[in-house]
C-alpha cells in the first residue's frame, strides 16, 4: 500500500469518520478529565479502584466478544485479552484520549447494566451491548474495545496476548520475520 489514506486513519465507523467522533466525545463527556484525558496515566493509577472496576467491565465485554466454545478462535481468556489490555493501556504510547473514553464508556455501560456485567446471562449481556451500540458513544466505545481485543488476539505474543500464538494459529497466519525482541522497539 502506498497511500496512507482514508482506510488507515479516517476509518469510517457507521458512516461517521473516527476523526469527527473522538473530538466530539472528548468535548461532551464531562467526566473524561477524571480519567486522565490527554495526560499520561501511570501503571500505578491503573491499579486504583476506579480503574480496576472499569477494567473489569472491559474484560467482561472482551469475554463476550470472544466466548468459549467457538470452532476455531480461542476465547478471550485463552489468548489473555485482559493482560494484553491492561499492559497496553499502561504504556505511554497508548492514546490518552482513547484511554479516557474507554474508562468513561465502561462506567456508562456499568450504569446501564445496574449489576455486574459478568454476572448477567449471555442473552441479557447481548441485549445490553446491542442497546449500548445504538448510541454513538456506545458504538464508538465498543469498536475501541474490539480493536484492543483484536490487538490482543493478533499481535506478537511478546505483548502479553496471543498466548502460544493461538490467535495466529487459529487462522493459519504466518507472522512476518524478524519478530520483535522488545515491546514497542524498546521505547
Ligand X SMILES: Cc1cc2nc3c(=O)[nH]c(=O)nc-3n(C[C@H](O)[C@H](O)[C@H](O)COP(=O)(O)OP(=O)(O)OC[C@H]3O[C@@H](n4cnc5c(N)ncnc54)[C@H](O)[C@@H]3O)c2cc1C
Q: Which residues bind another protein (CB under 8 A)?
A: 1-7, 9-11, 13-15, 18-19, 22-23, 26, 38, 64-67, 70-73, 91-98, 130, 133, 139, 142-143, 146-147, 150-151, 153-156, 158-159, 168, 171-181, 183-185, 187
- Cα 38 to Cα 32, 70, 178, distances in angstroms: 10, 38, 34
Q: How far is the CB of 22 from another protein (least distance, A)?
A: 6
Query: Is residue 5 within the footprint of ligand X (CB under 6 A)?
Result: no
Per the CB < 8 A criterion, the answer to whether 154 and 168 are in contact is yes
Query: Is residue 187 within the footprint of ligand X (CB under 6 A)?
Result: no
- The contacts of residue 79 (CB under 8 Å, 6+ apart) are 66, 152, 153, 161, 162, 163, 166, 167
6 vs 52 by CB, closer to another protein: 6
Residue 171 binding: pick among another protein, ligand X, none (C-beta 5-8 Å cut-off by kind) = another protein
- The contacts of residue 9 (CB under 8 Å, 6+ apart) are 18, 19
Q: How far is the CB of 1 from ligand X (least distance, A)?
A: 7
6 vs 48 by CB, closer to ligand X: 6
Q: How many CB atoms lie within 10 A of CB 114?
A: 9
Q: How far is the CB of 6 from ligand X (least distance, A)?
A: 14
4 vs 30 by CB, closer to ligand X: 4
Residue 15 binding: pick among another protein, ligand X, none (C-beta 5-8 Å cut-off by kind) = another protein
106 vs 142 by CB, closer to another protein: 142
- Cα–Cα distance measured from residue 21 to residue 26, given in angstroms and rounded to the nearest whole number: 9
Query: Is residue 2 within the footprint of ligand X (CB under 6 A)?
Result: yes
| Footprint on this chain of ligand X (rule: CB under 6 A) | 2, 4
Amino acid at each position: 500500500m502506498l497511500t496512507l489514506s482514508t482506510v488507515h486513519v479516517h476509518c469510517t465507523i457507521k458512516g461517521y469518520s473516527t476523526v469527527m467522533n473522538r473530538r466530539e466525545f472528548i468535548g461532551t463527556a464531562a467526566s473524561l478529565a477524571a480519567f486522565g484525558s490527554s495526560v499520561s496515566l501511570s501503571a500505578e493509577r491503573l491499579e486504583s479502584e476506579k480503574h480496576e472496576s472499569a477494567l473489569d467491565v472491559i474484560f467482561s465485554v472482551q469475554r463476550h466478544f470472544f466466548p468459549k466454545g467457538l470452532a476455531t478462535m480461542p476465547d478471550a481468556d485463552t489468548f489473555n485479552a485482559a493482560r494484553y489490555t491492561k499492559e497496553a493501556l499502561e504504556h505511554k504510547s497508548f492514546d490518552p484520549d482513547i484511554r479516557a473514553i474507554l474508562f468513561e464508556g465502561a462506567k456508562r455501560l456499568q450504569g446501564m447494566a445496574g449489576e455486574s456485567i459478568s454476572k448477567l446471562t449471555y442473552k441479557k449481556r447481548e441485549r445490553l451491548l446491542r442497546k449500548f451500540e445504538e448510541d454513538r458513544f456506545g458504538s464508538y466505545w465498543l469498536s475501541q474495545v474490539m480493536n484492543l481485543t483484536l490487538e490482543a488476539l493478533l499481535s506478537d505474543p511478546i505483548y502479553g496476548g496471543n498466548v502460544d500464538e493461538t490467535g495466529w494459529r487459529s487462522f493459519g497466519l504466518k507472522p512476518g520475520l524478524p519478530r520483535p525482541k522488545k515491546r514497542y522497539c524498546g521505547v
